[in-house]
Every structure is written in C-alpha cells, then in structure tokens.
Amino acid sequence: MRIERSEIIIEIIAIIIAIKVFSFILAPLSWLVLKNQFCDIISLWNRWDAPHYVDIAKNGYTSVGEGRYFIVFMPLYPFLIRLLASIIGNYEVSAMLISNFASLFACLYLYKLAKIDYSHSTALKSVFYFSIFPTSYFLIAGYTESLFLFLTIGSFYYARKGNWLSAGVMGMFASATRITGLALIPSLIYEYLSQKSKSESETRSVKDIFFLCMISFGFISYLILNYIVFGNAFMFVEMQREHWSRYLVPPCVGLLSDLWGILWRDPAGKVLVGGAEVVFGLFGLGCIIFAYIKKFRLSYTIYMLLTWLAVASTAYWLSMPRYTLSLFPIFIMLAIIGDKREELHYVMTIAFLLFFSFFLVLFTQGYWAF
C-alpha cells in the first residue's frame, strides 16, 4: 500500500514532538523534585558549551580575556543565534529554537536518505532511533548537533540524488558549523565517483567536483575569521591545546587515558568521564567495522571513520557519547537490524530511552553529561 507523503511527514513530526514534549516535562519535574524549587525551563538547557555559543552571538569573537578561548567554536551557529535574536530579542531562546527546528529537518532528511535504499518501516525506525539515542537531548539544547546533522544528512541526501551543487552548499555550511564537516569532502567525492557513468562529459565532471570542493569554503571562512581576530589562521589549534588540552595523537592514547581514568577517578567520574567515554567510543568504532564487513554503503562508512578519527585522536576521550550522535549512518544500520528482529527493536528502544532519560536529567541538573 502506497503511503502518502503527508502521512510520512506527520509520522516523523509525531515522533519528534513526542520526544521533545517528554523531555520538556522530565527536565523541570526532575529539577522540582531534586532541588525542591521551581526553575526557568530555558536555563535548564543552557549548560556547559551552550552559554559559550550565546556569548559569541552577543559579543562576537575577541582576542582578549576569557572570550579568546571561544575561537574554538565555529561561527555559523552563533551567527544564526544572533540573527534570530535580533528578531525575537532573546539569545538563549533563539539558540534552542534553531536547535529544535534544525533537528526536525535533520530527521526529515534522514528519513529521505534511508528511504532511497530501504523500506518505509526501516527509514522511519532510523528516525526513531536517532531521536531517542542516549545523547539525543543535545538536539534540544543550544549545541551545534542539530544544525550540523541537518546540513550533513542533507548534503548526503542531495549527493545520493546527484544534485552536487546542493550537496556542496549544504556541506559548506556544515564545515562552518563543525570541523568534522570536512569529512564530507572525501566521502562525497567517493560517492560521486561511484555514481559517475562513462557517458558523462569531462566538463560536467569538473563542475561537479568543484561543487563538492565548495564544502571546504565553510572551513576556509573559519580560518579567515581566526586570522582577522588573532592574526593567525590556525589560532584555534593553539587554543585547543592551551586551554582545552586537546591535540592530535593516535586514538589508542585517548582510549588508554580514559581506561586509566576509570581506576583513579571518583565513582561518578568512573561512570561518566571514564566508562561512558570508552563504551560509546568503542561502540562507534564497532559500528564502523560492522559497516565495512557488511558492505554498508562505502561513502557512509568513510564519513563515519573520518569523523570518529577526528574526535577520537586526542590525548583523552571527551564527549564521545555526544560525538557518536554525529555518526548518523549508525541509525540506518540499527533500523535495518530492528526491522528484521522485532525483539531487538524493543531491546534497543528500552535501552535508549532509559539512558536518554538518565543523561537528560544529569545534563539539565547541571551535572557533566558529555
């Protein structure tokens, strides 16, 4: 039976709204019970990195004071916050509105991307797993996850459809949102080469490759911004090392550091700073290996591998559970499994919702949750 497009959109929106309503009820109720006081709902979500994006939106980038360290946060998301805040007058609300609407479009594109190769049921499950993944509360908070995934999944979708200009433009904005947007370049060039037919003209090929190389323009604009503010196009690298203690090393170094951390940290740190980082980091790597073995679409696997290497190649693993959310092909893979094995679908649903709720409460209460 053919499913109408309007019915599909309603199904996707229903999933998203259900999860967001659940989240917006759980967060203040948890605060009310645990703190025994009422709260400002928006402030519950303005945690950890979220205020930094708001600060950039309000004050711009600077080379002096504590604000100089915020150069490590890329410019597109703060720019959009500033743009929307100029209309509605509230930066924190603007940040959340952008995240929540972008997450809606990310889900729509994820469905459309999965539907190219799989059934309606599998495509819808990929959206469902994506929406309830243990760290999907970052699709609500003032973080870049939603915007980045909307642009990245959209870029892949247009590449699969052979619309290389749209793929390049969305990829360009993705690389102005997160540095891992650069992983789109080799991934989509491979996708292009795998689709290229012998009948295409050389002119067409050169033009399409140029469109995909446009992805780098977003990152180049970030380098220019670094140069304008600091006189050094790569100042963000120095700030990452100086203030955030982040620099490139083999992934095994970060893994061993976190394993060692499990031994010496306090009980909460053993779970959240050591254990969770290792579990999610290895989960992401395991999914990449599984994708390769099962001959999952190679452009997706290349993207996942390069993204994983970018976030795992540091002196210690930090925020790996959050970064795993960016490995969006995982949710298509899980949907394939869940569609074939109903019992596994229920197991994943219960497990994801359990940890989603647990981490959401920690995050909105102000505890470290990636």
- pLDDT score for 206: 86
pLDDT digits (tens, 9 = 90+) for 101-134: 999 999 999 999 999 999 999 999 999 999 999 9
Q: How far is CA 230 from CA 105, 218, 225, 341, in A?
A: 35, 19, 8, 54
Residue pair 261/316 in contact by the 8 Å Cβ criterion: yes
Residue pair 320/369 in contact by the 8 Å Cβ criterion: no
Using the predicted structure, report yes or no on whether residue 49 has a pLDDT greater than 80: yes
pLDDT digits (tens, 9 = 90+) for 326-349: 999 999 999 999 999 999 999 999
Pairwise pLDDT comparison (199 vs 243), residue with the higher score: 243
- pLDDT score for 351: 97
User: For the range 238-246, what are the long-range contacts, defined as Cβ-Cβ under 8 Å and sequence gap of 24 or more?
Assistant: 239/68, 239/69, 239/71, 239/72, 240/72, 243/69, 243/72, 244/69, 244/72, 245/315, 245/316, 246/314, 246/315, 246/318
- pLDDT score for 203: 53
Residue pair 244/69 in contact by the 8 Å Cβ criterion: yes
State the distance between the two ends of the chain, measured CA to CA, in whole angstroms: 43
Using the predicted structure, report yes or no on whether residue 7 has a pLDDT greater than 90: no
Provide the percentage of residues in the chain whose pLDDT is more than 70.
Answer: 97
Question: Average pLDDT for residues 250-256, to the nearest whole number?
Answer: 95
The angle formed by the CA atoms of residues 11, 44 and 154, to the nearest 5 degrees, is 40
Q: How confident is the model at residue 82 (pLDDT cuts 50, 70, 90)?
A: very high
Question: Average pLDDT for residues 165-176, to the nearest whole number?
Answer: 98
Using the predicted structure, report yes or no on whether residue 202 has a pLDDT greater than 80: no
With a CB cutoff of 8 Å and minimum separation 6, the contacts of 174 are: 148, 151, 152, 155, 181, 184, 215, 218
Residue 186 CA to residue 153 CA, distance in Å, equals 15
Q: How confident is the model at residue 198 (pLDDT cuts 50, 70, 90)?
A: low
Closest to 338 measured CA to CA, from 123, 101, 36, 107: 123
Compute the 3-state secondary structure of the chain and give helix, strand, coil in percent, each to the nearest 5.
75, 0, 20
Residue pair 361/26 in contact by the 8 Å Cβ criterion: yes
